A and B are shown apart, each in its own frame.
Chain A
Amino acid sequence: MATSATLRAHPGPGARSFFSRLATGDEIARLLTLAFASLILLLTVALVWQLWINSAPARHKFGLSFLVSSDWDPVNGQFGSLPFIYGTVITSALALLIAVPLGVGAAIFLAELAPPKTSSIFTFFIELLAAVPSVIYGLLAIFTLVPLMRDHVEPFLKTTLGFLPFFKGTILGVGYLTAGMILALMTLPFIISISREALLEVPTEQREAALALGATRWESTWQAVLPWARLGIFGSIFLGLARALGETMAVTMVIGNGTAISASLFAPGYTIASVIANEFAEATGDLYPSALVALGLVLFLLTIVINALARLLIIATARQGSSHP
């Protein structure tokens, strides 16, 4: 930009017309695009502001106890977010528990073992999985996963591991476990594709060094390659987590809509996103919707934190790329 660049030793008489000519073309373009860019800032500010003021009734009534109360009783005007925070955490944890080993495993295969063409084709299909809308995952889950869980998986878990509090209780087919499983499915493509990229970045010398010392292929991968790529893989996990937190439709369709906290994974529950989806349209009065918006605010803050952590990891990965510790 000329205006920021030059500082003339002798500003002459031509300077006036210079600026006015600049104003006709380039300056307009700059201001126009600047306006649109500012719109993004404005919209974000407006978003936070609207979340804040629309949750005001609930915040004023409950204050911080909103975050720790497990009482969700719309009829009597009692609202607490704990069941939903619990549900969000549990389902996301389950999702990661399943998706991370599966995803990193697949990523290892695609990055280390598969011939390049196979790797590209597989990756292409896996990335298409990421484009499948949430509601379609949910639809399929209702008619395939839920019966599967109800009739086979959950009874099996109950008989074998029923002494654990996680696997007690009535089996419905819907519940935390099923939601966790469908979430795992949806997080899988992200973990695979990002981990695969992280693994591809590992210099071949690392692998070769391990192999030259007599390591088996697996040992070389596990002990030399994975540690090098760990930052990128952690980044993929955080990104997957960020997605899992906000997933709404598929979870809503299989989580069973229970507003109580339960240790049993077979029990119906709610995540923050799914309770908003389910109850917002029918929330009457002032307090009820504001409680839901307050939940939205909590979810918003949660995703900011997780995303920030993910970005820090990505920055750390980039820095590592130039000088490995």
Chain B
Amino acid sequence: MTFRNRWRKILSHVMLSLTGVCAVVAVSLLFVILGYLVYTGWRAIDWNFFTQTPKPPGETGGGMANAILGSLEIVLFGTIVGLPVGFMAGIYLSEFGGKTFAALVRYTADLLNGVPSIIIGIFAWSVVVKHTHQFSGMAGGFALGLILIPITARSTEQFMSTVPQTLREGALALGASRWKMIATVVVPAAYRGIATGMILGVARIAGETAPLIFTSGDNQHHSTFWNEPTLTLPLAIYLRGTAPYEDWHRQAFAAGMVLLFMVLFANVAARLVLSRGITVQK
């Protein structure tokens, strides 16, 4: 073997091993993150964490009950606002859309999907906060709903398009009207994918922080959703994590652990649902 050939072989082995290293590094990152969060946050998880509102620094026994509740309320509101709109828009794009208008809606939805969430926050601020003159859970929920709409629309459309045309024709040939065909055949055939898209979308907005900073804001206590600033879990993580108190840091890690577990659980569950197959079902 010539020197050049040996060099080429060595190079090949080295480079390919490097790629393996890259892959291992990338994958292990996930576990590093999880591990560190659990390691640091575990000690702060106790009954108080889930039931108590924050106490001033120095006092023990505080918790994040208001943040947890606030997140639930705001994500729920955002889901109610965003999911139906996105779902219906997705149905339009898949089943009724003409050429130009549908293309325009698709382009706009993709555009909205690519817009940084903080810009959506500015929009929600300008529409709600500016006129109500206060932060509110409702404003934050509105922002989250706005983020959810294009995600849901595109994923609904995507999964409904995978339903074969022959299924639609079969239903129509039996005398079903268009909307009945959509409701009783197409949507049920695609429901796994649609549900997955929805779960992933909701998990995504549950982790959003930036648009909430100046819409729903911070609150040390439980609040009324409609007209008071409402703390959310991601925002609590941000505020506690950047504060100068050690105890609050641990709370931030605990909250991070809770949030991450919820988000990952939703993601894994959704992917498992999807992988079980889309059309073959009872």
Contact = CB atoms under 8 A, between A and B. Distances in A.
B96 A30 contact: yes
A281 B89 contact: no
B23 A144 contact: no
Contact of B36 (A144, A221, A273): A144
A37 interface: yes
A253 to B, nearest CB: 6
B92 A36 contact: yes
Interface string A58-95: 00000000000000000000000000000000000000
Contacts of B200: 131
B72 interface: no
B238 A129 contact: no
A284 interface: no
Contacts of A135: 207, 209, 234-235, 237-238, 241, 256
Interface of A, helix, strand, loop or mixed by DSSP? helix
A34 interface: yes
Contacts of A110: 23
Contact of B27 (A38, A122, A246): A122
The residue among A101, A142, A280 with the most chain B CB atoms within 10 A of its own CB is: A280
B179 A28 contact: yes
Contacts of A221: 16
Nearest to B85: A36
Contacts of A218: 11-13, 15-16
B25 interface: yes
Interface residues of B, number: 91
B1 to A, nearest CB: 12
Contact of A126 (B30, B36, B120, B180): B30
Nearest to A245: B116
Interface in A133-154: 133-140, 142-144
Interface of B: 8-9, 11-13, 15-16, 18-23, 25-27, 29-31, 33, 36-37, 40, 84-85, 88-89, 91-93, 95-97, 101-102, 104-105, 108-112, 114-120, 122-123, 125-127, 130, 146, 149-150, 153, 177-180, 182, 200, 203-204, 207-210, 213-214, 217, 234-235, 237-238, 241-242, 249, 252-253, 256, 259-260, 263-264, 267-268, 271
15 contacts: A1-B96, A25-B178, A40-B85, A44-B112, A50-B122, A51-B119, A54-B130, A126-B26, A132-B264, A138-B238, A246-B114, A246-B116, A249-B209, A253-B238, A296-B119
Given A132-B30, A292-B122, 6 more contacts: A41-B104, A41-B105, A114-B20, A136-B37, A276-B118, A293-B126
